[in-house]
């Protein structure tokens, strides 16, 4: 069964390598098809390319026999069948936490948190990078690179170290200190760029065409079609962990928008393969107010995203010109969801709320999704009776500055029982 089909085809040089069930690159706009290669834009219309597949028979039992990481879904990913034998970070199969305490506080009947802070470098980026590493191997690249708002840089340098590849990653120079430390500790080169993430991304696009970037795999540029497929595994895991069903409502943070589009793609693939019941679901997109171009377009009823200059504590979501923004709008509208944003103050409140009720210390992006959850429930946009899943995509230890200003001991006392009694009275 081919889930991505097109009318016209366009030839490009064939590439060696084993990509499992992947058969081609397909333009999301005009449908032109290309051989699998390190390409990310259609030469016919400049639309984005994504992976087209021919899936064989895939059963729940086959998946259950696989390892407890994303490779249990290797039959649905552009990776070789023997991927489990290769040195990689083996991310995924993170906890789906039944958040009853938070649900009671917000007045929701059924709520789960998909907590991706448990990945090897403590963010969902390990999923997408794992797929990109296999593509880099197939194409004979010797260096793994990226433009990053922080989490991706750490995931790339760690994965490169494990795979025996060189790494050179690029970040905005004003990134959080914890993310700079994490990205640098694995070795490789870490380069700070003066400017925003969008400036970093433009620089990387120029580097691809220069001899300095020869045989480099930029995971979110020339390897983007493969890399992006890693986010589908969030959809697969959520459905499997719920007992092979798709939840009624999902709230996903939006930076470039790629993660949300691939979660939707993952749900549709599960339905097409007969692994889950074909039933309606709603996808809600969450942004920080200080970088909310998709939310602004949604609320204005527009189809075009107007770029913005980011100004928010949620730096992992600070992409002012999101490549997949228009597709996020399409999915939110098609599924009956919405796009909402929250202020920095609401992000901090939500981080503390999640920590206090469920013992999960979320990164600022998690504060965005929980903050949007609370806002959507209060406004009546989100159905409190429907089964809801909220994504936390990173660990709060990476963004300590967001909550550090309010962190202090409850009391400072002398080491005596009398002093303690007085302090807690």
What CATH number corresponds to the domain at position 185? 3.40.50.1100
| Shared domain check, 240 and 376 | yes
Is the residue at 36 inside a domain? no
**Are residues 237 and 329 located together in one domain of the fold?**
yes
Q: Are 238 and 248 in contact (CB under 8 A)?
A: no
pLDDT above 60 for 1 = no
67-81, 171-185, 243-257, 327-341: least confident range: 171-185
In a domain, 71, yes or no: no
Integer CA distances (angstroms), 413 to 139, 408, 423, in order: 62, 13, 7
In a domain, 392, yes or no: yes
Q: How far apart are CA 155 and CA 122, in angstroms?
A: 9
Same domain, 186 and 331: no
Is the Cβ–Cβ distance between 135 and 280 less than 8 Å? no
> Do residues 209 and 293 share a domain?
no
2 within a domain of the structure (yes/no): no
What confidence tier does 80 reach under pLDDT thresholds 50, 70, 90? very high
Residue 8 pLDDT grade (very low, low, confident, very high; cuts 50, 70, 90): very low
Q: Stretch 72-90: mean pLDDT, rounded?
A: 97
C-alpha distance across the termini of the chain, in Å: 68
Report which secondary-structure segment, H or E, holds 392. strand 387-392
Comparing CA positions, the residue from 52, 55, 57, 56 lying closest to residue 5 is 52
Q: What is the mean pLDDT of residues 103-129?
A: 98
Taking 60 as the threshold, does the pLDDT of residue 360 lie above it?
yes
Do residue 262 and residue 339 come from a single domain?
yes
Residue 332 lies in a domain: yes
Kindly report the average pLDDT of the chain as a whole number: 94
Q: What is the pLDDT of residue 359?
A: 98
What SS3 class is residue 218? strand
257 falls within a domain: yes
pLDDT at residue 13 tops 70: no
Report the percentage of the chain scoring pLDDT > 70: 96
Judged against a pLDDT cut of 50, whether residue 6 lies above it is answered with: no
Lowest mean pLDDT among 190-194, 195-199, 250-254: 195-199
- Choosing from 224, 250, 278, the residue where a domain stops is 224
Question: Per-residue confidence at 16, pLDDT binned at 50, 70, 90?
Answer: low
**Residues 307-326: tens digit of each pLDDT:** 999 999 999 999 999 999 99
Whether 252 is in a domain gets the answer yes
Q: What is the pLDDT of residue 374?
A: 98
Q: State whether 283 and 362 are in the same domain.
A: yes
Domain count of the fold of the chain: 2
Given a cut of 70, whether residue 3 has pLDDT beyond it is: no
Residues counted in the chain: 425
Judge if 240 and 332 occupy the same domain.
yes
Question: Do 209 and 269 fall within a single domain?
Answer: no
pLDDT at 11 over 60: no
Q: Strands, E, within 279-372: which ranges?
A: 282-288, 339-342
Euclidean distance between CA atoms 8 and 330, whole angstroms: 24
The token pair that represents 59 in the structure block: 């059963």
Is 302 among the domain residues?
yes
Read off φ and ψ for residue 96, nearest 5 degrees.
-110, 105
The answer to whether residues 174 and 305 belong to one domain is: no
Distance between CA atoms of residues 222 and 156, nearest Å: 15
**Domain end point (choices 192, 224, 256):** 224
- Could you give the CA distance from residue 220 to residue 175 in angstroms, rounded to a whole number? 18
- Choose one of 196, 224, 252: the last residue of a domain: 224
Cα angle 342, 347, 349; round to 5: 120
User: What's the rounded Cα separation, in Å, for the pair 49 and 78?
Assistant: 14
- Give the structural domain span for 202: 124-224
* pLDDT tier for residue 17 given thresholds of 50, 70 and 90: confident
pLDDT at 7 over 80: no
- State pLDDT tens for residues 397-416: 999 999 998 788 989 999 99
Confidence of residue 130 (pLDDT cuts 50, 70, 90): very high
Q: pTM (2 decimals)?
A: 0.93
Q: What is the mean pLDDT of residues 113-124?
A: 98
Average of pLDDT values for 210-231? 95
Q: Do 384 and 239 belong to one domain?
A: yes
On the question of pLDDT at 233 being above 60, the answer is yes
Q: Summarize the confidence of residues 56-82 as an average pLDDT.
A: 97
């Amino acid at each position: 069964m081919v889930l991505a089909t097109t009318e016209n085809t366009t030839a490009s040089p064939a590439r060696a390598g084993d990509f499992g069930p992947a058969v081609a690159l397909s333009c999301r706009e005009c449908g032109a098809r290309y051989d699998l290669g390190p390409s990310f834009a259609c030469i016919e219309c400049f639309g984005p390319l994504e992976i087209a597949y021919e899936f064989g028979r895939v059963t729940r039992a086959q998946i259950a026999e696989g390892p407890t990481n994303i490779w249990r879904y290797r039959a649905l990913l552009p990776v070789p069948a023997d991927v489990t034998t290769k040195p990689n970070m083996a991310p995924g199969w993170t906890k789906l936490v039944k958040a009853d305490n938070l649900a009671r506080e917000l007045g929701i009947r059924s709520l789960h948190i998909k907590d991706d802070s448990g990945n090897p470098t403590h963010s969902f980026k390990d999923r997408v990078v794992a797929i990109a590493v296999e593509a880099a191997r197939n194409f004979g690249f010797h260096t793994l690179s990226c433009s990053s708002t922080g989490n991706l840089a750490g995931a790339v340098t760690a994965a490169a170290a494990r795979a025996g590849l060189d790494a050179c990653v690029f970040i905005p120079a004003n990134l959080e200190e914890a993310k700079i430390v994490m990205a640098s500790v694995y070795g490789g080169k870490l380069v700070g760029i003066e400017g925003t993430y969008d400036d970093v991304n433009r620089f990387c696009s120029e580097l691809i065409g220069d001899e300095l970037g020869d045989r480099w795999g930029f995971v979110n540029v020339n390897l983007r079609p493969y890399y992006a497929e890693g986010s589908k595994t969030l959809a697969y895991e959520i459905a499997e962990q719920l007992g092979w069903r798709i939840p009624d409502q999902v709230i996903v943070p939006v930076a470039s928008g790629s993660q949300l589009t691939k979660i939707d793609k993952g749900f549709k693939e599960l339905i097409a393969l007969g692994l889950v019941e074909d039933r309606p679901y709603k996808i809600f997109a969450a942004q920080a107010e200080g970088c909310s171009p998709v939310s602004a377009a949604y609320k204005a009823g527009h189809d075009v995203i107007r770029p913005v200059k980011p100004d928010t504590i949620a730096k992992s979501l600070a992409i002012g010109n999101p490549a997949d923004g228009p597709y996020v709008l399409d999915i939110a509208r098609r599924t009956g969801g919405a796009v909402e944003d929250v202020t920095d103050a609401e992000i901090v409140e939500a981080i503390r709320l999640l920590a206090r009720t469920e013992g999960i210390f979320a990164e600022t992006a998690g504060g965005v999704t929980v903050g949007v959850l609370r806002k959507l429930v209060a406004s009546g946009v989100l159905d409190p009776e429907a089964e809801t899943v909220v994504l936390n995509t990173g660990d709060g230890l990476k963004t300590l500055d967001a909550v550090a200003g309010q962190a202090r001991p409850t009391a400072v006392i002398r080491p005596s029982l009398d002093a303690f009694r007085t302090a807690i009275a």
